[in-house]
Chain A
Amino acid sequence: MASVSLERHPRLDSWIEIATDGRILLRTGKVDIGQRISTALAMIAAEELDVDPSMIDVVRTETGRDPDEGITSGSYSMEQSGNALRHAAATARRHMVARAAEALGVDRADLEIDDGVIRARDTNRSVSYAELQGGQPFGIAVDPDAAVKAPSSHRFIGTAATPRGMADIVSGRYEFLHDLKLPDMLHARVVRPPHYHARLKALDDGVAERLAGRDISLVRDGSFLAVAGRDEYAVIRAVDTVAAAAEWNLGEGLEPQDVYERLWTNPRVSLPVVDGGPVEEPVPAPTPPPEGAMVTLSARYEKPYHMHGSIGPSAAMAWWRDNRLEIRSHSQGVYILRDAISEALGIAAENIRIRHAPGAGCYGHNGADDAALDAALVARALPGSPVLLKWTREEEHGWEPYGTCTSMDLRASLDAGGRVVQWSHESCGDSYALRPRSGPGRAGAARLLSSRYLPDPPPAFLPGPAMGKHLGIHRNLDPLYDFAGRRLVKHLVRGLPLRTSALRSLGGYANVFAIECFIDELAAMAGIDPVAFRLSHLRDERARRTISEAAELMAGWPAAEGRGRGLGFARYKNVQAYAAVAVELEVTDAAEVKLHRMALAADAGEVVDRAGLAAQIEGGALQAASWTLYEEVTFDGGGITSRDWETYPILRFDNVPAITTVLVDRPGDPFLGAGETVCGPTAAAIGNAVFDATGLRLRRIPFVPDAIRTAAMAG
């Protein structure tokens, strides 16, 4: 099977090493960020190599050493690294069996493998992987057509594995980047401006000297200010000292504005979307409903800026020695980060080495990459010592790149039989494509936060519209349903106030929320059951099965007065995992949404780690429930006002529903990326259930009590 990763790294030695002690090392460019990819990759390789997964180590990706598989994003890790390692392991096994046959003087067909030992049947003669290959390179290419195990013979794939590192996680011994301790290490913190547009006007001359007396170094580079020292708490207090000594040019601040209005009035790049991707053509004007249309409905759906909101603020270690820079980062893309830091600091990429280290869950492009540049700037100013730089909670909330606000206009016409005969969906938002990819005009550096505050900042990066299928704003804009007369438009809106980038599921969350709520509106208008309405517009059997699984679970819930139920569905990017979500909830007298039950059905192709897949599906659903019920980044002229967990509340244990998860396993079928598929369906299921419970159609996220009361008064 073709794999982007194997095309880029065709040699077996790029992927697998057998050590002299028999342990097997897997190299991957995909990083474990809590999604348990290393657990799944080890299971895949263990299966093909006939060893226990505990014999396998999985590297933490390091630039220059491990495969460059781009970014750990887009739910691609199983499809890319999983397939690459499956074929690498199958190639390695075949190679070692051939060598064993030679060594033992028997036919390959007479060999069997048990736990890394190749044995000639009916004899005592055997040779281990370590004896055959230990410490030696394979020196061959991965054969993408190497025969892989039949699903019927799988021992590990499809089981529920204990995640790698789990014992250390529960005992507090799992080493996060934040926990790193190196000899002579300095702790560092950044002193941020009050908001994006502020620049340093003056800094009290005496502050550096006063800090030196407290064993703290001040780093000043243009408007970038940081402090570093051996005592972490002294460094934290020094931030306040520097902040009090700094005077900022505040400029005009952030312009207070109604972003939902600006999403329709600001300058924009508008493109029609056909077959899932934008085309360079004029946007077609809306046309009147076609002949046969009995009813036409239109509605506007909206979501605010959301944050990634990692529980552990971003961090990085940087160490400048002999004109070389070593970095540890919890970035999802250590190679692109290396090239962006090369641009930002003007040093050659080959003099920078970045190794991934565990951080708190990130769910997309959060502050990880920015923190790496921050640490590098401090390390460059203080060469010779390793510098561990951490962001504060306020920094993480206020400076990470958010998932954009979005406004969507939908319009559809139904014929007399309740079929969609015309469908229009326009989606307006800011860019999701602001990861620090290097390019002309120091485009990588420009997308690292602190570059903007250096004396010679790169020109601001203006992203163009993402043009591939199901990217950014138009992810899942094209519905999977058999809707006739589609008119799909993406609007990349300019001049919006907040910094944005990739947040789990990108535009898929907003678009599926809108599509799947609007379908319920249409079904109600046509007097058709919403599940039946969906099924009548779907031919894809796997889609139908997924919806039916969730719907059946929902139908089995005992009736409960005052509660409402709703369902949402999507196939991520129309090519990855299928997910259907059913929700039961009530709206309390305090106008709060209380979640009671959730049924999650997913078809992600062949299931590798059942526990890991279930965790991704359930975690995605709860995170999306949190976005939908509680979350909105707020700001005023002085900057971001969502500065902590009280001003940006998220889901807590008191509103976690009982969850039933059904994973439709398809042994032997391709892996389908599953980490993001459930987000949009969850939002829609909640919206539809609120409608079912109250008759209120909420079209703007989050569904906070004020929004519910406002809707109730309007209705």
Chain B
Amino acid sequence: MTVLVLCVNGERRETAVDPSTPLIFVLRNEFGLTGAKLGCSLEQCGACAVLADGERVLSCNRPAAEFAESEIITAEALERDRIGERVQSAFVAETAAQCGYCTPGLVVAATALLKANPSPEEDEIRSALNDHLCRCGSHASVLAAVRHAAAGTADG
């Protein structure tokens, strides 16, 4: 066990864990942030995505210790982010979820995209979401939500 210090959702948080523990288990079980979902533990589905220094990262496999220097934002804190809030509102407006298991990861990916590129082209949106799997088939409404959020971001 080692003491790990992480900056999560704007707070400095400490926890004693095995240093090889993937970030997702620290977020979910130590900090109670369950927005990052366990989907594959293979970095194949995107359900576990969080932001690290504004970029989308997958939390299911990489040790939490690798993120000691990063500012981590999870889906739970996106409402305090101007772009994150727009993305969440657009997902609600477009009812862009069915079961909702993949949704926090998609919201994170869309936020990371719009932070880097406020006016993405259609193929850039699809490419940003392409490593995220959705089994319910809510893809079309998710794409609509990201376009909707992008329109808002570009305007303001």
Q: Which residues of A pack against B, CB within 8 Å?
A: 33-36, 160, 162-163, 165-167, 169-176, 178-179, 181, 231-234, 236, 308-313, 358-361, 363, 390, 392-393, 611-612, 615, 618-623, 626, 644-646, 650-654, 656, 658-659
Report the separation of the CA atoms of residues A622 and B127 in the bound assembly, to the nearest whole angstrom: 18
Pairwise interchain contact A653-B76, C-beta atoms closer than 8 A:
no
Residues of B contacting A360 with CB < 8 Å? 99, 101-102, 135
**Inter-chain contact A615/B141, CB cutoff 8 Å:** yes
Closest Cβ–Cβ distance, residue B64 to chain A (whole Å): 10
A residues in contact with B47, CB < 8 Å: 311-312
- How far does the alpha carbon of A165 sit from the alpha carbon of B91 in the complex, in Å? 12
Q: Are B140 and A618 in contact (CB under 8 A)?
A: yes
> Which residues of chain B are near A172, meaning CB under 8 Å?
33-36, 74-76, 104, 107
Offer 7 A-B interface pairs, CB within 8 angstroms, sorted by A: A33-B99, A165-B100, A170-B107, A361-B136, A615-B95, A615-B136, A618-B141
The minimal Cβ–Cβ distance linking A661 to chain B, given in whole angstroms, is 9
User: Is A176 touching B103 in the complex (CB atoms < 8 A)?
Assistant: no
B127 and A618 contacting across the interface, CB-CB below 8 Å:
no
Distance to closest chain B CB from A633 (angstroms): 15
| Residues of chain B with a CB closer than 8 A to A361's CB | 98-99, 101, 135-136
Taking the complex as formed, is B29 at the interface, i.e. its CB lies under 8 A from any CB of chain A?
yes
**Cβ 8 A contact of A179, one of B28, B74, B95:** B28
B117 is an interface residue with CB less than 8 A from chain A:
no
Whose C-beta in chain B lies nearest to the C-beta of A392? B41
Contact of A233 among B18, B88, B143 (CB under 8 A): B18
Q: 0/1 per residue, B36-55, Cβ < 8 Å to A?
A: 11111110110100000000
Contact assessment for B75 and A171 in the assembled complex, using a CB-CB cutoff below 8 Å: yes
Is there contact, CB below 8 Å, between B25 and A169?
no
Q: In the complex, A650→B46 CA distance in Å?
A: 14
Interface contacts beyond A233-B20, A645-B42: sample of 16 additional A-B pairs, CB < 8 Å, sorted by A:
A35-B98, A162-B95, A169-B97, A170-B88, A178-B34, A181-B29, A233-B18, A233-B25, A310-B135, A361-B135, A619-B98, A619-B136, A645-B133, A652-B133, A654-B127, A659-B140
For the complex, give the distance between the alpha carbons of A361 and B47 in Å: 13
In whole angstroms, how far apart are the Cα atoms of A310 and B45 in the complex? 11
Residues of A within 8 A of B97 (CB): 34, 163, 166, 169-170
| Min CB gap A130→B, angstroms | 30
- Find chain A residues with CB under 8 A from B17 CB: 233
User: What is the CB-to-nearest-CB distance from A592 to chain B, in angstroms, rounded to a whole number?
Assistant: 14
Contact A656 B18 (CB under 8 A): no
Q: A656, B140: Cβ atoms under 8 Å?
A: yes
With CB as the reference atom, state the residue of chain A lying closest to B103.
A169
- Do residues A652 and B130 form an inter-chain contact, with CB atoms below 8 A? yes
Q: Given A233-B25, A311-B134, A361-B98, check contact A656 B41 (CB 8 Å).
A: no
The one of A175, A236, A363 in contact with B135, judged by C-beta atoms closer than 8 angstroms, is A363
- Complex Cα–Cα for A558 and B107 (A): 33
Nearest B residue to A179, CB-CB: B34
Q: Tell yes or no: B56 within 8 A of A by CB.
A: no
- Select one of B18, B100, B139 contacting A653, CB under 8 A: B139
Q: Is the CB of A622 within 8 A of B140?
A: yes
CB within 8 Å for A645 and B45 given contacts A169-B103, A653-B139, A656-B139 = yes
Which A residues touch B76, using CB under 8 A? 171-173
How many whole Å from A465's CB to the nearest CB in chain B? Answer: 30
Q: Note all chain A residues with C-beta closer than 8 A to B140.
A: 618, 622, 656, 658-659
Whether A656 lies near B95 (C-beta < 8 A) is no
| Residue pair B44, A34 in contact (C-beta under 8 Å) | no
A34 B99 Cβ-Cβ under 8 A: yes
Kindly provide the distance from the CB of B8 to the nearest chain A CB, expressed in whole angstroms.
13
A163, B130: Cβ atoms closer than 8 Å: no
Most buried by B among A35, A176, A615, A651: A615
**B32 is an interface residue with CB less than 8 A from chain A:** yes
Given A392-B41, A393-B42, are A166 and B95 neighbors across the interface (CB < 8 Å)?
Answer: yes
Q: Is the CB of B92 within 8 A of A167?
A: yes
B10 within 8 A of A: no
Q: Within the assembled complex, what's the spacing in Å between the Cα atoms of A309 and B99?
A: 13
CB within 8 Å for A656 and B126 given contacts A34-B136, A165-B100, A169-B97: yes
Q: Is A621 in contact with B107, judged by CB distance below 8 angstroms? A: no
Specify the main secondary structure of chain A where it touches its partner. Answer: loop
With a CB–CB cut-off of 8 A, which chain A residues contact B132?
A: 653
- Whether B137 and A233, one on each chain, are in contact in the complex, defined by CB atoms closer than 8 angstroms, is no
B79 within 8 Å of A (CB atoms): yes
Taking CB as reference atom, which chain B residue is nearest A625?
B137
- What residues on A are CB-neighbors of B57 within 8 Å? none
Question: CA A615 – CA B99 in complex, angstroms?
Answer: 11
Query: By the criterion CB–CB under 8 Å, are B104 and A170 in contact?
Result: yes
Cα-based distance from A172 to B22 in the complex (angstroms): 19
A-chain residues with CB within 8 Å of residue B153 when the two chains form the complex = none
Contact of B98 among A174, A615, A626 (CB under 8 A): A615
CB < 8 Å neighbour of A309 from B36, B41, B129, B135: B135
Q: A163-B95, A176-B37 are known contacts. Are A171 and B101 too (CB-CB below 8 A)?
A: no
Which among B45, B129, B139 is the interface contact of A622 at CB below 8 angstroms? B139
Within the complex, what minimum Cβ distance (angstroms) separates B30 from chain A? Answer: 10
Q: Nearest B residue to A609 by beta-carbon distance?
A: B95
Bound form: Cα–Cα A359–B37 in Å: 11
A-side contacts of B130, CB under 8 Å: 652-654
Q: Which residues of B contact A390 (CB under 8 A)?
A: 38
Residues of chain B lying within 8 A (CB to CB) of residue A363: 135
A39's nearest neighbour on chain B, judged by CB, is: B95
Interface centre among B95, B125, B137, B140 (most CB of A within 10 A): B137
| A169→B139 CA distance, assembly (Å) | 16
Given A645-B40, A656-B140, the answer on whether A170 and B103 have CB atoms closer than 8 Å is yes
Chain B's closest residue to A646 (CB) is: B44
Is B138 in the interface zone, CB < 8 Å from A? Answer: yes
Residue in B39, B127, B139 whose beta carbon sits within 8 Å of that of A312 in the complex: B39
Q: Which residues of B contact A644 (CB under 8 A)?
A: 40, 42, 44
Q: A36-B98, A179-B34, A311-B102 are in contact. Are A162 and B135 (CB under 8 A)?
A: no
| CA gap between A650 and B34 in the complex, in Å | 25
Contacts of A358 in B (CB 8 A): 99-100
Q: In the complex, A312→B40 CA distance in Å?
A: 8
Is the CB of B114 closer than 8 A to any CB of chain A?
no
User: Which of A172, A310, A615: most chain B Cβ within 10 A?
Assistant: A172
Closest to B100 in A: A169
B135 A393 Cβ-Cβ under 8 A? no
B75 touches A170 (CB 8 A): yes
- Which B residue sits closest to A620, measured CB to CB? B137
In angstroms, Cα B101 to Cα A358, docked, is 9
- With A and B bound together, what is the CA distance between A426 and B147 in angstroms? 46
Name the B residues within 8 Å of A308 (CB-CB).
Answer: 135
Q: Indicate if the CB atoms of B39 and A233 lie closer than 8 Å.
A: no
Cβ contacts under 8 Å, B20 to chain A: 233
A175 surroundings in chain B (CB, below 8 A):
34
Alpha-carbon distance between A345 and B45 when the two chains are bound, in angstroms: 35
Interface status of B119 (Cβ within 8 A of chain A)? no
Residues of A contacting B127 with CB < 8 Å? 654
Which residues of B lie under 8 Å from residue A612 when comparing CB positions? 95
Contacts A166-B92, A615-B95 given; indicate if A623 touches B34 (C-beta within 8 A): no
User: Is the CB of B83 closer than 8 A to any CB of chain A?
Assistant: no
Residues of B within 8 A of A171 (CB): 35, 75-76, 78-79, 88, 104
- Minimum CB distance partner of A168 in chain B: B100
Residues of B within 8 A of A170 (CB): 75, 88, 91-92, 97, 103-104, 107
A503 CB, nearest partner CB in chain B, Å: 12
Is B143 touching A312 in the complex (CB atoms < 8 A)? no
Measured CA separation A233–B25 after assembly (Å): 7
Tell me if A312 and B38 are in contact (CB < 8 A): yes
